[in-house]
Amino acid sequence: MIPITEYAGRDVAVFGLGRTGLSAAKALKAGGARVHAWDDNEDTRRKAEAAGLTLSDINKRDWQTFAALVLSPGIPYKFPQPHRIVRMAEMTGVPVVGDMELFARAVQSLPERGRPKIVGITGTNGKSTTTALIGHILKHAGRDARIGGNIGTGVLDLAALHANAIYVLELSSYQLDLVKSLHCNVAVFLNISPDHLDRHGGMEGYQAAKMRIFQNQTERDTAVVGFDDVISQSIAIGLAARGPARVVQASSSYALGRGVSAVDGRLYDSNSGNAAFIGNLAECAALPGKHNHQNAVAAYAACRALGLDPQTIMEGLRTFPGLAHRMERVGEIEGVRFINDSKATNAQAAEQALKSYDNIYWIAGGVPKSDGIGPLASYFPRINKAYLIGEAEEAFTATLKGKVPTQGCGTLENAVKAAFRDARNAGIDNPVILLSPACASFDQFRDFEHRGDTFRSIVEAMMPTELRELA
């Protein structure tokens, strides 16, 4: 844990007691603050108490006594409208901060020589894989890498600050909305496409939130920017022109004159002006497909900026085991493979899986995003049948009508069993049951991880007993 001492002896409100809120409350308490923690959800409050947190209903407190409101990133800050707790803070002049801002201030309070390095990773797609990949490469090289943020462990639950440590942090747009002090020695911006627009007031606000990852960089820092979409290309060119950070372009689509490229799966470093062949990404079993090649080139560029040599990085890429819930193979039954891609919460993320397999029995649905699955039409011929669940069932059925056979299944368990029956009986080679929902999970699950874990549990339960029941 990283104790937050900034508010020692003062009252601090913490609202939202999921993973982030719990870690913030504990870190503040460890640093000597008087913590007033609350959540509107009764079940969440019970879990927080079970985790050892003392609750205090901030709705009934005198807000003039609060030095700050620590807001969990899932709580609306500005759009579609500020949460009532945010409005309360604004009316009483109480500053609103997030856990990442608390972490950033703790780092900045240290003498410069005593500060750890920070690698921040953001983007619409691929940031979890890239974060885990950078952390794996650094650990493989013997570095003290601490991986967290929007992935796995909350930033304040990571090991205490140390000058030789490297904090590798996935940063969501919600978290970036709440930071002012974060200084990334290496900032990785993978890509950008429409997502979470309701929470940012549109695409302009979403992009502005993502751009905050660069805001405190200096000429000693590095900005790694993906070069595979038009907006990111513009960002890379603009940052290079304005400075102050050194900009490294990273692409899985283009052979760059300067930067890092993956051309037909072959990794090249041309930062010196000459393209040096580094290695073949086909040797990296957990990084199939062009989207993973973009993650790989960005991770390579970030690790080079931290001083690792090319072959050490390449060895790290080869040994990367992959990420749960992202094209994760969870089992095979009677020749039918089951792929957990629950992390694909929008169409662009689902596209990466759909382009990687044939003979697909696709499980999709949940809370739909604004663009639905229409952008995936070019991949419909790869899908033998779609099994639709959740709130998106009706809309997705309409989109797929006349193009892909569909079955409304309601629940994930129904979808898995129906897909297995069809795939097993189809008499084709290498069928794949692919959970790649192209939707948020909140209609039936806590989050994408809960959805993916449920999928894995259903498959595992089928292995010893369900085959007989389905026969």
pLDDT, one tens digit per residue, over 281-293 is 999 988 988 889 9
Tens-place pLDDT, residues 172-184: 999 999 999 999 9
Cα–Cα distance between 182 and 353 in angstroms, integer? 33
Confidence tier at 469 by pLDDT (50, 70, 90): very low
Given this model, what pLDDT does residue 125 score?
87
136 included as an active-site residue = no
The CATH class given to the 11-97 domain equals alpha beta
Given this model, what pLDDT does residue 371 score?
86
Cα–Cα distance between 381 and 437 in angstroms, integer? 17
Catalytic residue among 29, 36, 127, 210: 127
- Judge: domain 328-467, CATH 3.90.190.20: yes
Confidence tier at 464 by pLDDT (50, 70, 90): low
Catalytic residue among 150, 191, 340, 384: 150
Lowest mean pLDDT among 78-82, 92-96, 324-328, 338-342: 324-328
Tens-place pLDDT, residues 301-327: 999 999 999 999 999 999 998 888 988
47 included as an active-site residue = no
Cα–Cα distance between 391 and 438 in angstroms, integer? 12
Domain range summary for the chain, segments of one domain joined by +:
11-97, 103-319, 328-467
Fold of 103-319: UDP-N-acetylmuramoyl-L-alanine:D-glutamate ligase (3.40.1190)
Tens-place pLDDT, residues 334-350: 999 999 999 999 998 89
368 sits in the region (left: phi over 0; alpha: psi -120 to 50; else beta) called: beta
Average pLDDT taken over every residue of the chain: 95
Long-range contacts of 82-87 (CB under 8 A, 24+ apart): 83/15, 85/13, 85/15, 85/58
The strand order across the sheet containing 186-189 reads 144-149, 165-170, 117-122, 186-189, 222-226, 246-251, 260-263, 266-269, 276-280
Catalytic residue among 117, 196, 210, 343: 196
Given this model, what pLDDT does residue 370 score?
86
Given this model, what pLDDT does residue 468 score?
41
33: its two tokens: 């603050």
Tens-place pLDDT, residues 380-417: 999 999 999 999 999 999 999 999 999 999 999 999 99
Annotated binding site for ATP: 123-129
pLDDT over 60 at 467, yes or no: no
Tens-place pLDDT, residues 18-52: 999 999 999 999 999 999 999 999 999 999 999 88
Burial of 358 (0-12, 13-18, 19+ CB in 10 A): middle
415: its two tokens: 């979808």
256: its two tokens: 């760059």
Pair 85, 14: CB distance under 8 Å: no
% of the chain exceeding 70 in pLDDT? 98
* CA dist list (Å): 317 to 22, 36, 127, 130, 353: 34, 44, 16, 11, 20
Q: Do domains 11-97 and 328-467 have the same CATH topology?
A: no
271 included as an active-site residue = no
Confidence tier at 465 by pLDDT (50, 70, 90): low
Annotated binding site: 123-129
Mean pLDDT, residues 444-455: 95
